[in-house]
Structure 1
Amino acid sequence: MNDWIPAAILWGLTLVRLPTVRIREALPAFLGALFASVAFTLYVPSVYLAVDRVIGGGNAVAVVLSEFVVAALWQIQRSLQIATSPSTAACGKAWRGWWAICSVAMLLTFPWWSAPQSTRWVVSVYGAQPALLVFQTIAVAFIMTVSISALRICLPRLKRMRGLFRSGFRMVLAGFALALALGGVRLLGNFLQPGSEPKAAIEWFYETAQQVIVILVSLGLSLPRLAAVAQRLALTLKAAKMLRRIQPIWWNLASSEMDLVIDSKLYSRIEFLTVKSVARLQRRISEIRDSEIRAQTRGYVMDTQSAEIVREVETLLYDYADGARNSQKAAMR
């Protein structure tokens, strides 16, 4: 798999979650995506080598990369806890302590590394060294405990899930089940003979599987939000189209009641490129209804076709409001 693909996917998922950054319950999911994005960007060989030169060489970037990975897993575990059991403050503190212990212990192994040549495959090349074995054991211990915790959180609740949440949790389960197996495989590979076929097979599996894992887990956690964002985008584009349809109705009514008009700017052909089409449509409908009420005192009656279009727009706006509520709920996952 191209190393830029998982990095690009993760940055895309991070950007999708950016509007939720001020929501306290949604922050762990955003941070998990952000930390994973940074880690997998550093994992790209050209980026890895460039950053390692900047920070002094000796594969110091491998420590930075790994710290971002365990931080991402910690935040993902937090997001799962919040999504399924919001009142788990004590358990959250215990996980924060476990993450801190593992992070510091991993960092303290670096002075004893002997890995002079910068290479993204530092574990494959130098992984049999005692210091690197300790480093990997700590990292694998954290990965495995997070994976077990995630499986314990998700499995009992899977039957109660419906729709996209069920599909998303299945992807998360598959990702963490694979991560659990991958941790043991990673350590086993270090004790195999360099250049042997079994070691080469394990290295290939590890390289591929870790990218599949991060994509599965990240997509699984983001699936409901991605669907809500797609729904809102579709409604926004439809709102831009409806602005053109109601323009003659609005002009027929509001042109004689300009004191009721909030926004007299005419519809633009590039309205669909903005994020304001729904807000403008809401104003247009309000102005149409307000003008209609005043015009009715003079005997005005809206024709059947215009009334049907206005009702269609009002239904669209109701669907948009409902989609916005669903998007808010999805942001909490």
Structure 2
Amino acid sequence: MMQLIVALALWGLVSALVVGTRRRTDQSILYAAIMIALSLTLNIDAVYFAADGLLGGRNYADLPANLLLLLGIYFLSRAILRASSPSRANASARPFRIGAIITAGLMVTTFIFIDAPTTSGTFMQDFGNQPAAAAYSLIQFIYLGIVMALTGMICLRFAARMSTPARRLGFRIVGAGCGAAVLTVLSVVGMDLAHVFGAMSLLALFASAYDVLNLTAILLLCFGLSLPPILGGVSTRFNRRKLEAALPDLTRIWVDVSAQHLELGGVAHPNAPGSVSRDVDTVVHRMLVEIRDALLLNPTARDRLSDEDLALLTATETRIGAQRTSA
């Protein structure tokens, strides 16, 4: 049940990120979320047994699942670091990349030496007493712990600099999720060592902590990463309705200004019949530019506008700026 909840949370994050695809130029977070979602979907017993059956029924499906998780976390951390602190992202790019390559290579090497002849839905529980299995898990999670620790610290440090309240809150929640992920890694390390050395009471203690910490980390990360696109979409729709409501008054102002026979570049009225259809953001932006240009060329045209008209222009410019910031 826990595996299903985790997988559904990740696919929920993917869905939220897909909603904001058109507003983002960098889709790295979406691709990373898909990789992690696929990895954790393979942890669902029914899916894992089916996939492993296709690969020969010797737990070969565990390796691609964990490699997908490794790559997903790597690309996710890179995307988060670029969004929060490009300079830190550039500084850590080479070490992160080299670390991911070395970790993946060591995971493949150690996996070869694990004796796991039958498909198991509890891979580490059944085979984790083997030194090769412990090394396979430790190598992966130590790298993930380092990456998540650095990512979390930078998220919390630079959250206040994010451009919108949704992003600021989202980055703080992601930072908390990274902290929970680091604690999850520590519990995995504890389980691996306890299993190898036969400390079964400690193994049970670390296992119970892992269940809580892992779910907490996943839910916090998913919620934090999905918050900006969800709230950004809501804000965009709200602002668009406001722009649509302001459009008749803006059109009247445009006509009042153009009635002064100002040269506005010879372009047609943005809402004139036969003009190219555009979304309201583009129409309003063009109107504002033409109105401001007209007022700049002929300051006396301002006398034709009331205080309410000028306030509407200022408020609409602010709203257009907010639209572009949240995009």
Aligned to 1:230, which of 220, 229, 234? 234
Q: How does 1:235-274 map to 2 (within 5 A)?
A: 235-239=239-243
Q: Which residue of 1 is the match for residue 323 of structure 2? A: 324
Separation (CA, whole Å) in 1 of partners of 2:314 and 2:6: 45
Say if 1:188 and 1:316 are closer, same or farther in 2 by CA, change over 3 A. same
Separation (CA, whole Å) in 2 of partners of 1:276 and 1:42: 42
| Aligned AA (1:170) | R
**1:135 paired to 2:136:** yes
Q: Deviations over 1:212-249 (max 9, x none)?
A: 21332343345444432321022234456667x88xx8
Q: Which residue of 2 is the match for residue 60 of structure 1? A: 60
Query: Is the 8 Å Cα contact of residues 109 and 131 (structure 1) preserved in structure 2?
Result: yes
Query: Is the 8 Å Cα contact of residues 49 and 118 (structure 1) preserved in structure 2?
Result: yes
**1:10 paired to 2:10:** no
Say if 1:221 and 1:3 are closer, same or farther in 2 by CA, change over 3 A. closer
Q: Which residue of 2 is the match for residue 44 of structure 1? A: 44
Mark the runs of 5 or more structure 1 residues left unpaired by the alignment.
254-258, 266-274, 288-301, 329-333
| Aligned AA (2:107) | M
Mark the runs of 5 or more structure 2 residues left unpaired by the alignment.
257-266, 291-303
Please report how far the alpha carbon of residue 262 of structure 1 lies from its aligned counterpart in structure 2 after TM superposition: 6.2
Q: Which residue of 1 is the match for residue 117 of structure 2? A: 116
| Aligned AA (2:141) | V
Query: Is the 8 Å Cα contact of residues 81 and 88 (structure 1) preserved in structure 2?
Result: yes
Please report how far the alpha carbon of residue 28 of structure 1 lies from its aligned counterpart in structure 2 after TM superposition: 3.8
Query: Is the 8 Å Cα contact of residues 105 and 138 (structure 1) preserved in structure 2?
Result: yes
Query: Is the 8 Å Cα contact of residues 186 and 206 (structure 1) preserved in structure 2?
Result: yes
Q: How does 1:197-208 map to 2 (within 5 A)?
A: 199-208=203-212
Q: Deviations over 1:77-101 (max 9, x none)?
A: 3234322143653531121001100
Separation (CA, whole Å) in 1 of partners of 2:52 and 2:271: 55
| Aligned AA (2:176) | A
Query: Is the 8 Å Cα contact of residues 159 and 169 (structure 2) preserved in structure 1?
Result: no
Q: Which residue of 2 is the match for residue 296 of structure 1? A: none
Say if 1:10 and 1:315 are closer, same or farther in 2 by CA, change over 3 A. same
Say if 1:56 and 1:22 are closer, same or farther in 2 by CA, change over 3 A. farther
Paired residues, what number? 306
Q: Deviations over 1:107-162 (max 9, x none)?
A: 2223223323333421222222222111101012102211332244345x258547
Separation (CA, whole Å) in 2 of partners of 1:159 and 1:324: 20
**1:214 paired to 2:218:** yes
Separation (CA, whole Å) in 2 of partners of 1:319 and 1:54: 57
Query: Is the 8 Å Cα contact of residues 13 and 218 (structure 1) preserved in structure 2?
Result: no
Q: Which residue of 2 is the match for residue 298 of structure 1? A: none
Q: Which residue of 2 is the match for residue 182 of structure 1? A: 184
| Aligned AA (1:115) | A
Please report how far the alpha carbon of residue 69 of structure 1 lies from its aligned counterpart in structure 2 after TM superposition: 1.4
**1:92 paired to 2:96:** no
Please report how far the alpha carbon of residue 64 of structure 1 lies from its aligned counterpart in structure 2 after TM superposition: 1.4
Separation (CA, whole Å) in 2 of partners of 1:160 and 1:166: 6
Say if 1:278 and 1:173 are closer, same or farther in 2 by CA, change over 3 A. closer
SS in 1 for 2:48: helix
Separation (CA, whole Å) in 2 of partners of 1:125 and 1:52: 16
Q: Which residue of 2 is the match for residue 81 of structure 1? A: 81
Relative to structure 2, which stretch is displaced further, 82-91 or 180-189? 82-91
Separation (CA, whole Å) in 2 of partners of 1:119 and 1:221: 32
**1:70 paired to 2:73:** no
Say if 1:159 and 1:63 are closer, same or farther in 2 by CA, change over 3 A. closer
Query: Is the 8 Å Cα contact of residues 173 and 224 (structure 2) preserved in structure 1?
Result: yes
SS in 1 for 2:188: helix
Separation (CA, whole Å) in 2 of partners of 1:167 and 1:85: 19
Identity over the aligned pairs, expressed in percent? 20
CA RMSD of aligned residues (A): 4.6
| Aligned AA (2:8) | I
Separation (CA, whole Å) in 1 of partners of 2:10 and 2:159: 32
Query: Is the 8 Å Cα contact of residues 42 and 65 (structure 1) preserved in structure 2?
Result: yes
Query: Is the 8 Å Cα contact of residues 85 and 154 (structure 2) preserved in structure 1?
Result: yes
Q: Which residue of 2 is the match for residue 19 of structure 1? A: 22
Please report how far the alpha carbon of residue 61 of structure 1 lies from its aligned counterpart in structure 2 after TM superposition: 2.1
SS in 2 for 1:67: helix
Separation (CA, whole Å) in 2 of partners of 1:64 and 1:236: 44
Please report how far the alpha carbon of residue 60 of structure 1 lies from its aligned counterpart in structure 2 after TM superposition: 2.1
